[in-house]
Amino acid sequence: MNNVFSKRQAMVTYTIQELTTLIQNGQVKLREVNKLHVRAIKKYILENVLTEQIYFPPLVAAAERLGEDKPLELMIIDGNQRLKAFCQIEEMGSREVKSDNEEHMKIGYKLLQFLQKTEVAVQIFEGLAKEEADQLFIDLNTKGKKVALSKRIAFDSRKELNKITNTILKNNKQLKIAGVEIEKRAIVRPTNKKLLSLSQLRQIVAIFLTGRMIHRVVDDYYEANLAANDYIKLITVWFNELFQQYPPDRMGDFEESMLANFPLLLSVAYYVNKGMEKQSFEERQQEMFHRMERLRQVDWKRDNPVWKNYKGVIRSGYYFLSNDKKNIEKLVALLEQQGR
């Protein structure tokens, strides 16, 4: 137990089941929760409960008094979504153990075991006024530093999208020559001559995995139809074909290459994957060769007047293609007309 800024605090552990029981008895008070966040936490638990690879940071709470025994009445400051998810997981586990389906029953027992045996730490502050608790809630949820995308991709051992992106980033020699901006969140043209930002590379990988138009936000929910290694091979082949059509060391140079305009590069990625997501690796690779071959006559230079037929804006004398969905669909239609 410590005194920090005149407020006593302690770190206490509870089993998840202890906390859910206290919530049911009205002894733990929760704030309003975000249903989408609760759903995401439940999904995380369900996906990892069988492997027991579930990790939660400490909760933060306030109690009227700290003594020898751990408090049984708490006001939760940070961790409301987690606790709400735990309550819903408990309800789900209780239902599933009564199921006639053996797999459902197995998951139900595993969920209840998870609740009974897993302990979470709670940082408890003594005697916080409501205004102090509210301010702490705001500070915890707005001042914290988010994990950089580069770190999420490098260290994420679960999400296939991140693992594939990381493998491509590490192993594709020509892509390294073209350049991927890791440190900065956005590429400022024409100064930065790297071909892609890390988030843009992740968007391209997502198109190969989903077969869908990913023009802004990558959706983590998709059905993979191939093994991870097959996706890596397809993306590697695509980059190799692309760099045969324009040198990798100059592709990100906005002074000369229109492929440095990310909406166009995104359009090429979607063009080669369109309608192919459910095909086998061999079929996709063969069709990719065919589609990329048809683009060999395209003039990718920035001064090709055809690009100004598509939505964009002129800034500092440079034409920036618009990144909206309709514009990308029109660019894809242009690519589909090539070589016919």
186 vs 60: which has the higher pLDDT: 60
DSSP assignments along 64-120, one per residue? S---SSPPS-EEEEE-HHHHHHHHHHHHHHHHHTT-SSHHHHHHHHHHHHHHHH-EE
**CB under 8 A, 24+ apart: contacts of 209-212:** 209/160, 209/161, 209/164, 210/277, 211/273, 211/274, 211/275, 211/276, 211/277, 211/278, 212/277
For 5-28, what is the mean pLDDT? 92
pLDDT of residue 63: 95
Q: Is the pLDDT at 4 greater than 50, yes or no?
A: no
DSSP secondary structure string for all residues of 127-191: S--HHHHHHHHHHHHHSSPPPPHHHHHHH-SS-HHHHHHHHHHHH-HHHHHH-EE-SSSS--TTT
**Average pLDDT of span 251-266:** 95
What is the average pLDDT value for the chain, to the nearest integer?
Answer: 90
Whether residue 214 has pLDDT greater than 70? no
Lowest mean pLDDT among 49-63, 89-103, 207-221, 243-257: 207-221
pLDDT at 213: 77
pLDDT given for residue 219 in this prediction: 54
What confidence tier does 216 reach under pLDDT thresholds 50, 70, 90?
low
How do residues 292-339 score in pLDDT, each as one tens digit?
A: 999 999 999 999 999 999 999 999 889 999 999 999 999 999 999 997
**Per-residue pLDDT tens over the stretch 43-82:** 999 989 888 889 999 999 999 999 889 999 999 999 999 9
pLDDT in tens, 78-121: 999 999 999 999 999 999 999 999 989 999 999 999 999 999 99
Q: How confident is the model at residue 221 (pLDDT cuts 50, 70, 90)?
A: low
Structure-token pair, residue 203: 């968007």
Beta strands in 163-281 (DSSP E): 180-181, 196-197
Q: What percent of the chain has pLDDT over 70?
A: 92
Binning pLDDT at 50, 70 and 90, where does residue 18 land?
very high
How far is it, in rounded angstroms, from Cα 116 to Cα 14?
A: 10
Model confidence pTM above 0.85: no
| Span 138-174, pLDDT tens digits | 888 877 666 676 777 777 767 888 889 999 999 999 9
